[in-house]
Structure 1
């Protein structure tokens, strides 16, 4: 009974552990699934890296013909001189794009904090004042970056809109900034691992708002420069739902990587200056002027590579915005509710399958998570790193549940060992531990073969021996019988003075339990005969054995104070009666008819039909000659 109580306590304990693990993993999933505009802290930043791989699988190489990148590359520097170029040279590049190639709008991804040659600055300022050119400025988001260089421009009035707090800025010189209606910030913030995944879409500085470069470029091109609106975590850059963008509370948003680098048309600045570029590639296109030259340092690490030009980040945002406008569809991101619904489905399956084996529960979790990842890889909705929350929760739950199952299994193995190490040989214990079935301790019916053995002559010997010698002699005599039981992998139930009770067929099922019992009985006789050959006449003994097969109840039949694994039933009683009959008639081994029928080979002889105490009728009894 104490073992049953222990099993019940362990069941309660393991279910309590599972509930706690379910709650812990669910809270973790909720925390991860919340929308955010920045990287996860260690060690959850692994989700960002997994998200990078997911986004890479979604990238398309389909040509982006609406946007052209004009690159001040190494070849352009080699042809027109090292950086910085004169303002006259830059003005010529911008005017060539505007007048000769007739582009739709120009974005200049560089800052001129100091004035240079007057004529070149005037030309750039005139182009900016016309609304055909979007200039850049940047901000510092750390208190250590409190510099104030140049003059900020194109500020928006303060409004209750998610924005990133800035502490300093680097802008264009006053003569250039004062006349520019289109200026956007190009501030970039890398995650702790050095990879740029998010950008500030709106900066707040000294009670004013400053939008990002790409949205400003798009708004100026379309002539929509009215006040910004924001609601439910979205900024409305343009009129209509298709002009919205999802942002976090701090104004940060994930960079919408949609296309591979090779999908964009990149033209060297030297070809523009020389008039070699194809007009058809540039006319009525949005153009971003930037640099990929190593000396200029305008590149960052992204999922596209370790040296991604900054202008490519703006191009990615514009591609996403143009897609939305052309499709005239609102931006849709996989939300918190959808993520938690997937987690609920996974947990529900795990709970409903708790009575099945662990492999089935693991297969269910694997199926749900793989289906979710497959859908994430093909959906047109925005996929943030938070969509991987069910994957993290599943892995954590697997680790916790695996640890709990391991602990429970070890506890069960120890319980089985403690319960049976006094009853069965080591080989049977190993088999029980391998199966690790707690139900084996519960009382149940089983067909077994019972053996009662009694030593004749032991009592007289015990009366003559001193206590110390008697203890040694008793251990030796009982071991003669016990070793035969162990050799045949039987269950030693109990000693009763100079008698022994054992059985075969439980707790481990043995198809040849009858043969094993008979072999053990013959081994006992041989062991006693060998003992008598070397023993003094006054220390010689005899053993009388009774064997019977039948259906009995086996299991833990003890009390809360002592657990005992035993068998109860008619076969037990009959084997004891047969042993007593053997003692009365000086027979070595008497076997019941039910046992004799199950022997593949029987060396027995018919002893006769006898009537046993407590049983009606007679039964055939066999003897070993």
Structure 2
């Protein structure tokens, strides 16, 4: 047994070593990719975390002190089209104040004076007594002043619009800021300009916050920044400012890397958390919160019309942060979230506040990236070890189990602890190791069977070999009817060429002759049926389907002529040889044909016999390739010439004979076109019985011919000598009956 076990052990060691090399290469490539962290990996992580949120959205808490006053379709229908006069906004703010709202944040831009104010309309009129009288009747209070007075009576926050325009005055900020650790400004989303509310409103508001969004590349709002940097000034978001004002806090505290208690080891890793009043909020390195969204629920909104009319329960507002914003689709303030394709922008502010105040947590901590890399390496080692020791089916099963285990661990971390552990990179990297290593083992196993396949493939088409390997049940008698193209080729003057050769030399010569012909067939998706001495039979469209079988057969025939020309250029010690090729397309029976003891994969049928007859007629017509009607119909762009219509022996239906002289490029050659035109005129006149016209066309053909049609010209000369000067016999069709097979 030692002589047997020794080679097996050596093969096993080589296999395990190869598996280790493959796994190590993938691990190194994976680590390099993870270090670069291209946008494709980020998008995969986002898609996975989005799916987690869809599977487990945040549970709504009715006690969370956040409400939205919606400028919805019902309010627009009751109060009129947008924009409303600011006196309406002032009345809504007053109603919320009277109901005891802790803070009101208005998600609307008030960067221009109220155009609905009658005073604004009167200022555009020419000056005169009537204009002054109307202005005096309106009093001194504008709608903007009315809104400013109401805002000044309660904790109110107005929105800023951050831009990337240069210039502008000072950045209006009403909150104080303090930081611990590294300066936070370099990590915050940066803008260069700001569009603020008009001065009366800006001065009256207790807070000012940015309304901006920063969606991901797919326009989904996953993270909401709490802070922004505008020309080195820190500006809070609308939600962050509302939270500060509602608590009566004066300062927002930012904690960054290298602060007390933060072990960044001197590295500048960004922001860790933001504290607003008594609320500490974990953030990413840029001061943004990844919101754990709940499904959008319009029933949780308060309609602006109901607030204005006093139709709400004061307990729904008392002690809560109330945001006023547009929710009607026509106002176009819609955003996409991981859960909903379109929600009002004001709801994202509200969901951020709900996320923070409900104690929800959705973070990717600093150590998570390291854990993901360790998980990838550990899974790769485990899978590579299993692949090297276990059969492929078991190692694949084990690999899939451990990959699923990591995905399950990521899900548990999300659903139980609010931790974002990337399921995609470790799982996909481990899957790459699994399939690469098992593929390597499969290749090694296939190599052991290669000798058998190689020997079998010498006699049967390679496609059939693979079909038989996959399904041994196909080794039985029987076949199928399908359209195929059949090729026969034979050497001209074999007897003369072989004279004087002994058996060994003759065998070498025939093998050297058949090899390029075989290569031409196989290179164009054909199957060798058999060798008949110096002849070759091949077919197309079996065992594997080939929709372009007629064209591939024609290309193979032209390649055979080129191969024989190259064969003749070599010194074989004998005169140049020539071949004739017949091609025909038709319905044939193909399959394993023979007896119970011995059978071959072959093809039979009338169209096979016709292909053989066409090859035989190449000698009679002096052309190297003759193809049948159906073959010609499938390749009309090739260089074809129809030169006769015949009735083969034993058949009643006549067929047209076409010579194949080149590819599509040759078909456009002017000299060839002249020959084909003369040949078409000749055959049309001959079949119509107009022998004088046929003789004239024959003269033109002879003048245009480059020597390839000499035999055909001679044949038609002989026929016209017989029929010339006499009218065509009754029932004349011009069909020539072949006397030989």
Q: Which position in structure 2 is the counterpart of 1:261?
A: 296
1:165 to 186, 190, 193: 190
Give the stretch that moved more between structures: 395-404 or 76-85.
395-404
Residues 1:76 and 2:43 are matched in the alignment: no
Task: Tell me the distance in 2 between the aligned counterparts of 1:330 and 1:266.
Answer: 25
**Shift of the alpha carbon at 1:296?**
1.7
**Shift of the alpha carbon at 1:259?**
1.8
SS at match of 2:292: coil
Task: Tell me the distance in 1 between the aligned counterparts of 2:44 and 2:354.
Answer: 28
1:120–1:364 distance in 2 versus 1, CA, 3 Å: farther
Q: Deviations over 1:388-423 (max 9, x none)?
A: 43233234434544654565555554466569999x
1:370–1:412 distance in 2 versus 1, CA, 3 Å: same
**Shift of the alpha carbon at 1:147?**
8.3
**Shift of the alpha carbon at 1:21?**
0.9
SS at match of 1:342: helix
Q: Which position in structure 2 is the counterpart of 1:108?
A: 106
Task: Tell me the distance in 2 between the aligned counterparts of 1:178 and 1:278.
Answer: 31
Q: Which position in structure 2 is the counterpart of 1:24?
A: 29
1:126–1:330 distance in 2 versus 1, CA, 3 Å: farther
1:290 to 315, 322, 325: 325
Task: Tell me the distance in 2 between the aligned counterparts of 1:381 and 1:259.
Answer: 17
SS at match of 1:178: helix
SS at match of 1:65: coil
**Shift of the alpha carbon at 1:173?**
1.4
Q: Which position in structure 1 is the counterpart of 2:383?
A: 350
**Shift of the alpha carbon at 1:344?**
4.1
SS at match of 2:161: strand
Residues 1:152 and 2:150 are matched in the alignment: no
Q: Which position in structure 2 is the counterpart of 1:234?
A: 272
Q: Deviations over 1:76-118 (max 9, x none)?
A: 011101111111110101110111x212221111110012245
**Shift of the alpha carbon at 1:75?**
0.9
Q: Is the 8 A contact 1:51 1:388 kept in 2?
A: no
Structure 2, unaligned runs of 5 or more? 118-140, 258-270, 471-499, 508-741
Q: Is the 8 A contact 1:128 1:135 kept in 2?
A: no
**Shift of the alpha carbon at 1:28?**
3.4
Q: Which position in structure 2 is the counterpart of 1:439?
A: none
**Shift of the alpha carbon at 1:278?**
1.9
Residues 1:206 and 2:231 are matched in the alignment: yes
Q: Which position in structure 2 is the counterpart of 1:315?
A: 350
SS at match of 2:301: strand
Q: Which position in structure 2 is the counterpart of 1:90?
A: 89
Task: Tell me the distance in 2 between the aligned counterparts of 1:408 and 1:131.
Answer: 78
Q: Which position in structure 1 is the counterpart of 2:433?
A: 397
Q: Deviations over 1:155-181 (max 9, x none)?
A: 656961131111332221122223434
**Shift of the alpha carbon at 1:285?**
2.0
Task: Tell me the distance in 2 between the aligned counterparts of 1:387 and 1:470.
Answer: 68
**Shift of the alpha carbon at 1:56?**
1.1
SS at match of 1:235: strand
Q: Is the 8 A contact 2:291 2:362 kept in 1?
A: no
**Shift of the alpha carbon at 1:26?**
3.6
**Shift of the alpha carbon at 1:229?**
2.4
Task: Tell me the distance in 2 between the aligned counterparts of 1:152 and 1:419.
Answer: 85
1:13–1:286 distance in 2 versus 1, CA, 3 Å: same
Task: Tell me the distance in 2 between the aligned counterparts of 1:271 and 1:189.
Answer: 32
**Shift of the alpha carbon at 1:212?**
1.4
**Shift of the alpha carbon at 1:13?**
4.7
Please list, as runs of the form range in 1=range in 2, the aligned pairs for 1:104-503 lying within 5 A after superposition.
104-116=102-114, 117=117, 119-129=142-152, 132-140=155-163, 152-154=172-174, 160-161=183-184, 162-232=187-257, 233-238=271-276, 243-248=280-285, 251=286, 253-262=288-297, 265-324=300-359, 333=365, 335-354=368-387, 355-378=389-412, 379-384=415-420, 386-398=422-434, 400-401=436-437, 404-405=440-441, 407-408=443-444, 411-414=447-450, 417=453, 468=502
1:339–1:17 distance in 2 versus 1, CA, 3 Å: closer
Give the stretch that moved more between structures: 56-65 or 108-117.
56-65
**Shift of the alpha carbon at 1:376?**
3.8
SS at match of 1:16: helix
User: Which structure is richer in relative contact order (CA contacts within 8 A, separation 6 or more)?
Assistant: 1
1:351–1:311 distance in 2 versus 1, CA, 3 Å: same
2:20 to 8, 15, 35: 15
Q: Which position in structure 2 is the counterpart of 1:58?
A: 56
Q: TM-score, normalised by structure 2?
A: 0.50
Task: Tell me the distance in 2 between the aligned counterparts of 1:128 and 1:365.
Answer: 63
Q: Is the 8 A contact 1:48 1:385 kept in 2?
A: no
Q: How many residues align?
A: 426
Q: Is the 8 A contact 2:244 2:250 kept in 1?
A: yes
SS at match of 2:341: strand
SS at match of 2:336: strand
Q: Is the 8 A contact 1:102 1:283 kept in 2?
A: yes
**Shift of the alpha carbon at 1:25?**
2.3
Task: Tell me the distance in 1 between the aligned counterparts of 2:324 and 2:374.
Answer: 45
Task: Tell me the distance in 2 between the aligned counterparts of 1:371 and 1:244.
Answer: 31
1:72–1:224 distance in 2 versus 1, CA, 3 Å: same
